[in-house]
Amino acid sequence: MFRKKYKNYFNWGFTAFLVIIACITFFFVLFYIPDIMGFLGRVLKLLTPILWGLALAYLLTPIVKRVEKIGCRLFDGKVKNKRRLLMASRWAGILISLGLLVACVALLLSMILPEIGASIAKLYKSLPDYAANTETWISQFLEDNPDMQSLVMDMINKISTGLQENLGNFMQGDLLKELNSLISNLTTGVIDFFKELLNLVVGLIVSTYVMSSREVFCGQAKKLLYALIKPRYANTVLDVVRHTNGIFGGFITGKLLDSLIIGILCFIIISILKMPYIMLISVVVGVTNIIPFFGPFIGGIPCTLLVFMVDPKQGIIFGLVILAIQQLDGNIIGPKILGNSTGLSAFWVVFAILLGGGLFGFLGMVFGVPSFAVIYYLVKRTAEYLLRKRNLPVNTDIYHEAVALQGFPEDDGENPPEPEDMQTKSEEDIHEEVQ
């Protein structure tokens, strides 16, 4: 009795101690959050080659698996050592996937860079003519509209006066400072470019190790997971990881293929119509199409303006062509390739793009949709589990009418059996799961 009494005191005291430590840690993190974020940023910068390697391994693993299956089928029965056959097929898949990656990048660069360079040079040389044509069009428009002309001239006079004052101040004191800043930024940009190139090369090496030993890494992760938490929760975590992999894998591969098709389709159509800057416009339209929902507008509007500066009639035609291509993509090509890989409605797609783009820029706009789809899945899964515990239906359509009219009966206190992914599995099931 005496020992039990003091044991309770010790438990309460230890709990209070942990609460105090947690509060102190929280306020410490809150107070030094800029330093902590800076430290995390430096750590992520050091781990950039590892992140490159993991990303490349994730993208190339489907090709490696396909080559593995083909190799094992072709040489099944001819090679007695199954382990050796599997590793030989895997290394063949790794070499083929890396070779395809390098070949595709080299082919695209050899085709795109010269054309883009020529298009930019042509655009630079033609800018004075475009400006003169635009000025002539605006002058004619203003002559036909005297009221608009007086309003525009007043605005131009105010803007020119402000520009003259600012230009004088700039030439007197800020020119040298801006030149030094420009040179420094150029030097930093060149250094950063070669650093990223080196990180990419190291990432290729890391991806090779990851793809060749993927079962080892998966087995170690599962072993640690089952060691830290109960099997029933570990099974749930593994199920969520599989679902996340399905969302990201389907979305990324589908979106890349969809954008490639749109870029090629745009290239063919504007080549037939003999429009300017064919390769430049096709690349911009294809790359920006990776961004869901807003991508077609981000790429289509500036390209339309570019063609409009050369020939207003072709610019209008190009705008209609882009609109037709994007309608085709949104209603036929995209759904056929992507299907319902994310499980999100149009509202949540827009929400995820705006939130991701506001927080993380271009990458946030691209990966915001699958990331939010995972969060949506977790919330939905938790809500359905809680509803099952209360003997309530999980179908959303039921709540549109039943709750508004009469509601559901009160909870009788009897909890239904847990879903299969929440139940504790036997040791044999866990062993099979790990395998």
* pLDDT values of the chain reduced to their tens digit, one per residue, 435 residues: 545 556 666 677 778 888 888 888 887 777 777 777 788 888 888 888 888 888 888 888 888 888 888 888 887 767 677 778 888 888 888 899 888 888 888 877 776 677 667 767 776 777 677 667 766 767 776 677 666 666 766 676 666 665 555 555 555 555 556 666 767 777 777 787 788 888 888 888 988 988 888 888 888 989 999 998 888 888 988 988 888 888 888 888 888 888 888 888 888 998 898 888 788 788 888 888 887 777 778 888 888 888 887 777 888 888 888 888 888 887 777 777 766 667 777 788 778 888 888 888 777 877 888 888 888 888 888 888 888 888 888 777 777 665 445 555 454 444 444 444 444 444 445 444 444
Residues ≥6 apart with Cβ < 8 Å to 243: 374, 377
Residues ≥6 apart with Cβ < 8 Å to 236: 421, 422
pLDDT number for residue 435:
43
Torsional sign, CA 349, 351, 355, 357: positive
Residues 110-132: b if buried by 16+ CB within 10 A, e if exposed: eeeeebbeebeeebeeeeeeeee
- Asked if residue 352 lies in contact with residue 371, where contact means CB atoms within 8 angstroms, the answer is yes
CA angle 298, 304, 306 (to 5 degrees): 105
Q: 76 pairs with which residues across the strands?
A: 79
What letter does residue 423 receive in the DSSP assignment?
A: S
Per the listing, tokens 């030149």 go with 179
Residues ≥6 apart with Cβ < 8 Å to 393: 387, 399, 408
**Using CA atoms, how far apart are residues 250 and 372, in angstroms rounded to an integer?**
15
| Token pair in block for residue 266 | 């745009």
Q: How many residues are present in the chain?
A: 435
Tell me the three state secondary structure of residue 136.
Answer: helix
pLDDT number for residue 233:
87
pLDDT number for residue 177:
65
Q: How far is CA 327 from CA 44, 218, 297, in A?
A: 40, 42, 12
pLDDT number for residue 426:
46
**Using CA atoms, how far apart are residues 320 and 314, in angstroms rounded to an integer?**
10
pLDDT number for residue 179:
63
**Using CA atoms, how far apart are residues 151 and 157, in angstroms rounded to an integer?**
10
pLDDT number for residue 416:
46
Q: Measuring CA to CA, which residue among 377, 375, 381 is closest to residue 418?
A: 381
pLDDT number for residue 164:
57
**Using CA atoms, how far apart are residues 215 and 109, in angstroms rounded to an integer?**
35
- Asked if residue 60 lies in contact with residue 30, where contact means CB atoms within 8 angstroms, the answer is no
DSSP code per residue over 335-369: HHHHTTSS---HHHHHHHHHHHHHHHHHHHHHHHH
**Using CA atoms, how far apart are residues 261 and 263, in angstroms rounded to an integer?**
5
* Helices vs strands, H then E, count in the chain: 15, 0
Q: Is 77 left (phi over 0), alpha (psi -120 to 50) or beta?
A: left
pLDDT number for residue 110:
77
Q: Measuring CA to CA, which residue among 324, 300, 304 is closest to residue 314?
A: 304
**Using CA atoms, how far apart are residues 415 and 147, in angstroms rounded to an integer?**
77
- Asked if residue 287 lies in contact with residue 257, where contact means CB atoms within 8 angstroms, the answer is no
| Token pair in block for residue 76 | 């099944």
pLDDT number for residue 158:
63
pLDDT number for residue 24:
84
pLDDT number for residue 174:
58
Cβ of 179: how many Cβ atoms within 10 Å? Answer: 10
Tell me the three state secondary structure of residue 76.
Answer: strand
Model-wide pTM > 0.75 = no
